[in-house]
Chains A and B, each alone.
Chain A
Amino acid sequence: MERVQLSARQLFMLAILFEHGSAIVIPLGVDAKQDVWLAILCGMALGSLLFLVYYRLFTYYPTVPFTSYSQQIVGTFFGKGIALVYVLYFLYIAARVLRDFGELLLTFAYPETPLFVLNAVMMLTIMYAAYKGIEVLARAGELFFAFLYLIAVLGFVLVIVVGVIDIHRLQPVLEEGWKRVFKVVFTQTLYVPFGEMIVFTMLFPYVNERKKVKIAGWLAIWLSGINLALTMAMNIAVIGADAVSRSTFPLLNTIQEIRIANFLERLDVLFMIALVIGGFFKISVFFYAGVIGAADLFQIKEHQRLIYPLGLAVLLLSIAIANNFAEHIKEGLNIVTIYMHIPLQVVIPVLLLIIAAIRNRHM
């Protein structure tokens, strides 16, 4: 384990950037049509319960990451198995988000650049960040947090000022009832992005203010949940539920509607910045968690030594993962949710918590 320290504030900012990550630019939970903001808020509420599970596990074992205490809870053999699965899961999700990022940039801004080049450039940056360690990443996070918020506020104000928002587009609320909303909550918004906070179980031991971990995590989940819900509601109020559900990037379409006095227009660059910053932090956190998890599991003292092989693996995996964008998205929504998110974000942590609670009561 690295000997570094994060403050609760850094954890909060890192979690915010992580949660916004790609979620703010992709059509998150749009199957709920105009009720998507409700689906996000419900996902947020349930996500903060899930976070409580991760936090309780941390309070039992405050000095070691998830991959270590899984071994303490269910024994070395099964614990190592679980740890390995999680390491692979983090690296796989890092590859998925990297692919997302590359595809998004490719569709919109760099149609003639090969995917591999974009992904490789991004991955090199991320590998460098991971090499420097979590403390550097967290400090960069503090900088970019302010920057991203400035852009977000600017974007919001501009969209409101331009007057392209039509609140009526959000009606009828609950057209198909709560069923459609909860279907989206339990198949999408709970896991991405809120359940993905599981990756922070690898980072909690670095935080020097242990008492503040819970509140920092919760605040991050709530703030990002509200922001995401607001953003999706804004997208719908500007371009309509139908266009949002057909769009590859609803936020981009919304930003393109900004036209002020024939000179302040084409603000797509705001969208690009949000995409790159969010993508960078999301992939970095996953990748870093995967790397230190592997280092922890295989007892390697310097995690830096794993960065090149694992980075290369993530990069190649991100290319090999799917033949086209549709396949990639479909896999993400169906297979990954059922076979990875649900067991790894919900089932295993809850089981581990139950066992840990029983064990620690007897101890």
Chain B
Amino acid sequence: MTIKRWCLFLVVLLIHITILSGCWSKNELTDLAFVIAVGLDKTEDGKYVETFQVVNPGNVAGATQRGGGSGGIPVTLYTATGDNLVEASRKGSKKISRLVYYAHTNLVVIGEELAKEGIMDVFDAIERNPQFRTTATVVVARKQTAEELLSVLTPIDKIPASQIIKTLQMTEKIWGENLDVHAGEIIEALSLTGKEVVMSSFRLEGNKNTGKQQKNVQSIEPYAKLHADELAVFKKGKLIGWISGEDARGVLWVLNKIRQTALSVDWEQKKEAVVYKVMRAKTKVIAQMNKGTPVISVFIEAEGDVGETLVPFDLTNPTQIAKLEEKIEKEIQKEVQKAIQRVQQEKSDIFGFGEVIHRSYPDEWKQMKKTWNERYFPRLQVKVKVDAFVRRTGLRNKSYLK
């Protein structure tokens, strides 16, 4: 090769070094503030308050190595105020020394006051930002601001946001009164006319001031504790009501979100005497038209075991089991019917029945769409049919009770 070609070759190589390294807008790990949870509130003069729960990486890793608790605090809380979310987020840089980085944000907490005022406009920024994931869980802070809910240290899962998400997922899975709702699902519900938003709430109990301190996780019973609370019902993006207890579980039955739960039925004059553990459940919702009025049918299939009996009960007898199955079916049906009536009072179609009708009867839906929540949904006829199966009875068949 001639010298000229060698020079050219070197120049090309040098260009490649600059291009291929791809460090145009690099961010070192030590320059990022990993926001694990975002809290949203509104001030009295209508500004947004954004709360960031930022992971303190050194302390998280240290805490697990040393067996917990002895190091610093795993997360730090910052707040920033602005006319909108982007402004608040950017203004946060006045307090945080690192770039606020949202790619690991798994939780969005909405303060109750903001929820009542309306969440319609807060999701645009979340959806638009390429860092933010729409798979982040969203909850409402019950009876407090999002900032208060996020400012508590938790003992078992060191990072409070993880504690909230994991609690929510676990209770949804084995008890079924709470819902793990993603931002994407909320945005979808906000955009559809035949479906309204429903999500879980979380509550902070105990001493809020001590909850912020390391002391909270050094006590056998934390001074302040987080727990999953009622379901928040929204209408057109505004929080309008709460659903709790068995009604909440009824809502989950309809939404096909029940995976496991336990329910008890009366047996021979004794109240709540036999406990049925649901291990698998499936719900189907179908719309039909009956002389111009829509009818919704909810089909529920549940499979499970007997978990506990408080009366002498011969579980070796298949006819007894069949009788029990019938009772369970009635119990579930009652629970679901009650929940539907309760939601119909709120006049907000959180079940998405309107969408089911839209999908099966698009022409008829066009007439109903505008007044769906006001006129049709509260008076909607809903049929509930349940098939329950008792598969096994655990390690014993008959009870020791005689």
Residues of A within 8 A of B (CB): 107-113, 117, 121, 168, 171-172, 175, 239-240, 242-243, 253, 256-257, 259, 265-266
Contact = CB atoms under 8 A, between A and B. Distances in A.
A109 B358 CA distance: 37
Interface residues of B, number: 19
B227 interface: no
B293 interface: no
Contacts of A243: 184, 187-188, 191
A108 B130 contact: yes
A256 B191 contact: no
Given A256-B134, A256-B135, A172 B184 contact: no
Contact of B135 (A110, A113, A259): A259
A172 B19 CA distance: 49
Contacts of A168: 356, 359
A239 B25 contact: no
Nearest to B352: A168
B244 to A, nearest CB: 28
11 contacts: A107-B130, A108-B130, A168-B359, A240-B191, A242-B188, A242-B191, A242-B192, A243-B184, A243-B188, A259-B135, A266-B103
B184 A257 contact: yes
A27 to B, nearest CB: 15
A175 B360 CA distance: 10
A339 to B, nearest CB: 32
Contacts of B356: 168
Given A168-B356, A172-B358, 17 more contacts: A107-B130, A109-B130, A110-B24, A111-B130, A112-B25, A113-B24, A121-B19, A171-B359, A172-B361, A172-B362, A239-B188, A240-B191, A242-B191, A253-B134, A256-B135, A257-B184, A266-B103
Interface in B17-61: 19, 24-25
B347 interface: no
Contacts of A240: 188, 191-192
Interface in B120-140: 130, 133-135
Contacts of B188: 239-240, 242-243
A107 B129 CA distance: 9
Contact of B25 (A108, A111, A121, A253): A111
A111 B188 CA distance: 26
A172 B362 CA distance: 6
A112 B130 CA distance: 13
B83 to A, nearest CB: 22
Contact of B360 (A117, A171, A257): A171
B284 to A, nearest CB: 10
Interface in B123-159: 130, 133-135
A112 B26 CA distance: 10
A121 B18 CA distance: 11
Closest 9 CB pairs of A and B: A171-B359, A112-B25, A172-B362, A242-B191, A175-B362, A113-B24, A240-B188, A108-B130, A172-B359
Contacts of A253: 134, 184
A293 B103 CA distance: 46
Interface string B357-382: 01111100000000000000000000
B256 to A, nearest CB: 10
Contacts of B191: 240, 242-243
A35 to B, nearest CB: 11
Given A239-B184, A243-B187, A112 B359 contact: no
Nearest to A265: B135
A163 to B, nearest CB: 12
A62 B130 CA distance: 49
A198 B184 CA distance: 40
A108 B360 CA distance: 37
Nearest to A239: B184
Nearest to A176: B362
Nearest to B361: A172
Contacts of A257: 135, 184
Nearest to B131: A111
Contacts of B184: 239, 243, 253, 257
Contacts of B187: 243
